[in-house]
Chain A
Amino acid sequence: MEIPYVIEPRKDTGLNNSKIGIWLFLASEVMLFGGLFSGYIFLRIYADYPWPERTLPVLPGLVNTFILIGSSVTVVFAWVALKLRNWKKFQMYMSITLICAAIFMGLKAGEYKAKFSHQAIRFNDFTVIEGHAYPQVAKGDHDAHSDKDEHGESEDSHKKGPKKNFNVSATSVQIDVNRLDDKYYETMGPQYEKGSFTLANELVLSNGTTHAKGTAISKELLDAAEVDFLHAIAVNSELNIWANKQAWKDVKQALPGKPYYAAEVKSLLSEKVAFYKGEKKDDYLSATPLLTFEPAGGHADISVDPYWGRPSNAKKGAETSLKLKDQTVITGVSGDSSMILAVDGIDFRHTVMEAEKRNIDPVEAINKSWILKDKAIRSLWDKQAVIIEKLKEKLEEEDKGHEPTELDLYRLGWKQIAGIQDVDIAELKALDYDGIAALFKGDTDGFFGANHYSVHYPKVTVPRERVRFESLFTPRWNTYYATYFTITGLHGLHVIAGALVLGYYLFRGRKMYETKPEWLANRVEVGGLFWHFVDLVWIFLFPLLYLM
Chain B
Amino acid sequence: MADSPEAIKKACKTYTAVFITLLFCTVLTVLVAKLEIFDVNERGFDAADAIIGLAIATFKASLVGFIFMHLNHEKKMIYLFFGMAIFFAVAMYAITYLAFEDPIQYLDFFGKKH
**Binary interface encoding of chain A residues 67-96 relative to chain B, with 1 for a CB under 8 A from any of its CBs, else 0:** 001101100110010011000000000000
- Contact between B8 and A31, CB atoms less than 8 A apart: no
Q: Which residue of A lies closest to B34 (CB)?
A: A58
Contact partners of A20 in chain B: CB under 8 A: 77
Instruction: Determine how close the nearest CB of chain A comes to the CB of B41; give it in whole angstroms.
Output: 9
Beyond contacts A30-B82, A62-B30: 9 other A-B pairs, Cβ-Cβ < 8 A, are A15-B78, A26-B81, A28-B85, A31-B85, A34-B85, A395-B43, A407-B44, A539-B57, A548-B45
Q: Which of A37-45, A161-169, A446-454 contacts B (4 or more CB under 8 A)?
A: A37-45
Contact B19 A34 (CB under 8 A): no
With beta carbons under 8 angstroms apart, the residue of A39, A69, A80, A402 that contacts B19 is A69
Assembly CA distance A220 to B12 (angstroms) = 74
Q: Are A39 and B96 in contact (CB under 8 A)?
A: yes
Contact A31-B88, Cβ < 8 Å, known A69-B23, A83-B5, A543-B56 = yes
Q: Which of A77, A406, A535, A539 has the most CB of B within 10 A?
A: A539
Please give, as numbers and ranges, the residues of chain B lying within 8 Å of A275 by CB-CB distance: none
Which residue in A38, A400, A548 is a CB contact (below 8 Å) of B33?
A548
- Kindly supply a per-residue 1/0 record for chain B positions 42-63, scoring 1 wherever the CB is within 8 Å of any chain A CB and 0 otherwise: 1111000110011011001100
Whether the pair A72, B54 counts as a contact (CB closer than 8 A) is no
Residue A65 lies at the interface, judged by CB distance under 8 Å to chain B? yes
Interface contact A536-B26, CB-CB below 8 Å: no
Q: Within the assembled complex, what's the spacing in Å between the Cα atoms of A404 and B43?
A: 7
* B30 x A53 contact (CB < 8 A): no
Interface contacts (Cβ under 8 Å), in number, total: 148
Closest to A43 in B: B96
**Chain B residue contacts of A539, Cβ below 8 A:** 57, 60-61, 64
Question: Given A14-B77, A548-B50, do A38 and B16 touch, yes or no (CB 8 Å)?
Answer: no
**B39:A72 contact, CB within 8 angstroms:** no
Main secondary structure of the interface of A (DSSP, over half): helix
Complex-state Cα separation, A24 to B26, whole angstroms: 29
Interface centre among B26, B29, B69, B93 (most CB of A within 10 A): B69
Inside 8 A of B76's CB, which chain A residues have their CB?
14
User: Is the Cβ of A543 less than 8 Å from the Cβ of B33?
Assistant: yes
The yes or no answer to A209 lying at the interface (CB within 8 A) is: no
What residues of B have a CB within 8 angstroms of the CB of A33 in the complex?
A: 89
Q: Mark B75-114, 1 if CB is under 8 A from A, else 0.
A: 1111001101110111011001101100000000000000
Asked if residues A35 and B92 are in contact (CB atoms below 8 Å), the reply is yes
Q: Which residues of B contact A540 (CB under 8 A)?
A: 54, 57, 61
Contacts of A400 in B (CB 8 A): 39
> Which single member of A14, A77, A83, A543 contacts B29 (CB below 8 Å)?
A543
List chain B residues, Cβ under 8 A from A15.
75, 77-78
In the complex, A120 has a CB within 8 A of chain B = no
Q: Whose C-beta in chain B lies nearest to the C-beta of A29?
A: B85
Q: State whether A13 touches B77 (Cβ < 8 A).
A: yes
Min CB gap A84→B, angstroms? 6
* Beta-carbon contact of B57 and A35 below 8 Å: no
Q: How far is the CB of B18 from chain A (nearest CB, A)?
A: 8
In the complex, how many angstroms separate the beta carbon of A78 from the nearest chain B beta carbon? 11
Contact B99 A548 (CB under 8 A): no
Supply 6 A–B pairs (Cβ within 8 Å), ascending by A: A26-B85, A35-B92, A58-B33, A80-B15, A540-B61, A544-B53
